[in-house]
Structures are given as C-alpha cells and as structure tokens.
Amino acid sequence: MQMQPDFIGEARRQAEICNACRYCEGYCSVFPALHSLRTFSDGDITQLANLCHNCRGCYYACQYTAPHEFDLNLPGALAEVRQESWKLHAWPKGFARLFDRSGVAMAALMTVAFALLFVLAQALRPTSGEGFYAYMSHGLMVAIFLPAFVLPLAVLAVSLRNYWRTVGGGHVSPADLWAAIVSAGKMRNLAGGHGDGCNFEDTDRFSNARRHAHQAVLYGFLLCFAATSTATVMHYLFGMEAPYGFFSLPKLLGLSGGLLLCLGTGYMAALKLKADRNLGAASAWGGEMAFVVLLFAVSATGIALYAASGTGAVALLLPLHLGTVLTFFLLTPYSKMAHGFYRMAALTLEAHRRGSQVV
C-alpha cells in the first residue's frame, strides 16, 4: 500500500535529522524505536507515527524548529502520517476521509436520524415491560445493536490486518501484548521522559492534564463496557432481567463509567481548544473534536436518562441516547476511536522488537 508521499517523505526527512541529533532520546517510546534504525521504510515511519502520542515535548525541546532552516515539527509530521495511515488501512476507505472533512456534521445528522427512528420504533413498544423496556422491547434493541457492535469490530479487524502487514508485524507473544496493555493503561508515553507530563497545552509548562483526561476516558469507557457485559451475563445466564437497582453491578459500573467519560471528554475538549493545532494533524482537527463531543454526548445522555427514570422525559431521552450510541458504534472504525486499536498494535510490536533486541 502506498501512502501519500508528501506525508511520508517529510516525516522521513525529519526522522533522519532526529536520528543524527538524539537529544530527545529519553522522551517517549518513539525515540528508542527511531534510534534503533538507520534507514526508514514507509512501514517504519507508519509504526513510529502510531507510537507517537503527540505529547509535543520533543518539539518544544528541539533546537531545529522554525525559524531554523531544518524547520522540524516531528509531532506534526507524525500526526499527519498517523491520520493518513488510519484512512489508508480503513475499509471502506472513503468513509474515513469523509469523517475527517465533515465529522461534526456526520455525527450530528446520524444521531438525529437514528433518534427519530427510535422515536418511531416506540410505536412497536411491548404491551408490558419495566424501565426502558416499557418503551422499546429487549429483542428490538438486541436486533439493532448486536450487528452495530459486531460489524464495526470486523471492519477494524480487516483494517488492523492491513496495518500489521504494512509495518512488518509478525508473531508476538502474550508477554508482548501484556506489556502493551500495561503501557496503555498507565499512559506512560504521556508522562514525558521524567514523569512530569507533556507540553500539549502549554509550551513552557509540563503537565499531566492530558494524561489524566485520557485515563478518565479509557477507564470510563471500560467501566461502561463492563456494565453492559455484566448485564448481558445476568440476563442470559441467570435470568435476572433489567431494570436493575442502584446498588446492582450494572448500575454502579455504568454510572461511575459515565461520569468518568463526561469528565474526561470535557477536559479533553478544553485541552484541544487551548493547544496549537499546527503540532497535530490540523486537517483532521474537526473529525477529532467530533469524536470527543460524540463520546461526551453518549455519556451525558446516559446519565440524564438514568436521572429521568420513572418520568415522562424517558420517552425523549431514550431515543436520543440510543441514537448517540448507535452513531458511536457505526463510526468507530473511521473516527478517532480507531486510534486506540492502532496504538495497541504499535505498542505490541514495539514491545516485541525490544524483547528481541534484548535477547
């Protein structure tokens, strides 16, 4: 697969200069990987780009940024390659590029359209049912959301297979995968070389703000997923059907996860508004912000729906919440959500390569 040569060529030029300088050697996992190479293939540049967390510490420490003639902006160059790699490997490709250009409009229109359909679907409500099932049957929800969950995962699997071939990935061990999970869970590469954080929102100040925002989003999402999984097990294995009480596992996991998601995405949006767009993929800024706002909407409407339980507002909030969730699922392979899967692949491959070098 051939990526747009301008992005790859510019990133390669900057990587070669960084490889000669080596001032930023301890900043993050990008630089040990970069310094282990002498030449950079397209696959190498793609792997480095997906290892990069865009913390921007290397940019503010670099003596070769503009107005120097080298004009280095490694975070920006790798961000462009990273965004292009997701679009290149996505299937079908056209949707990813469309989301970059019109992410906010796409997410808003899809949410409104799906919400209206769910409003109409309430005409098929069961004659009996409790909680949300008084407005929409369990069978109808499963018929809609099971394919909407499984199909995007299948699309992502195809995309990751294409990416793995591009970066020259081979067999990895469970230990490699575990090392990647630990790194992602701690957000180690957003902590900076000395653990003081990164310079994402301020050129002169190290901060762990972006790291904490990402952790809130990650763990909030995992808690919400755990809530849904727990409810599924309780429903099908133990015959314990919703609605569940406040002190039930699905409710406690879902509410805590929703609150973390709200806080994390809100904080992340604020940081993105403060940060310099030129140090990221400026052309994809709208799509990235659309993803953050959409994930915020998923969690906020979920919390509002819970607060409105037992009132007439459920009839309006339930379609809105389901519309945001369905939009989120369907856009996952083409939105910023995909970066988590690519980042895990890149971290796993890097853990494997480091282990091979040690041996």
27 compared with 232, residue with greater pLDDT: 232
Is residue 46 located within the same domain as residue 166? no
Domain-terminating residue out of 85, 118, 149: 85
73/137 same-domain check: no
Percent share of the chain, pLDDT over 70: 93
Helices (H), 275-313: 285-307
256 and 193 housed in the same domain: yes
> Per residue in 294-328, pLDDT tens?
999 999 999 999 999 888 898 899 999 999 999 99
Mean pLDDT of 336-342: 90
Q: Are residues 58 and 79 in the same domain?
A: yes
Q: Are residues 209 and 322 in the same domain?
A: yes
My answer on whether 180 and 239 are in the same domain is yes
The DSSP secondary structure of 217-242, one letter per residue, reads HHHHHHHHHHHHHHHHHHHHHS--PS
State the pLDDT at residue 234.
93
**In a shared domain, residues 157 and 212:** yes
Q: What is the pLDDT of residue 193?
A: 63
pLDDT value of position 203: 66
Task: Calculate mean pLDDT across residues 111-138.
Answer: 80
Instruction: Tell me, yes or no, whether 96 and 24 share the same domain.
Output: no
- The number of distinct structural domains making up the chain is 2
Tell me which residue of 272, 324, 281 sits closest to 299, measured CA to CA: 324
Domain final residue, candidates 85, 119, 144: 85
- DSSP reduced 3-state for 312: coil
How does pLDDT run across 125-165, given as a tens digit for each residue? 766 667 777 788 878 888 999 999 999 999 999 999 999 99
Same domain as 43, residue 149: no
Burial of 161 (C-beta count, 10 Å sphere; 0-12/13-18/19+): middle
- The model's pTM is 0.88
- The mean pLDDT value of the chain amounts to 88
Q: At residue 358, does pLDDT exceed 60?
A: no
141 and 210 fall within a common domain? yes
Q: Are residues 44 and 180 in the same domain?
A: no
Q: Does the pLDDT value for residue 26 go beyond 80?
A: no
d(Cα 53, Cα 66) in Å, to the nearest integer? Answer: 22
Using the 3D structure, point to which of 68, 85, 102 is the last residue of a domain.
85
| Same-domain status, 108 and 126 | yes
Can you give the residue range of the structural domain that contains 107?
91-358
3 state SS of 198: strand
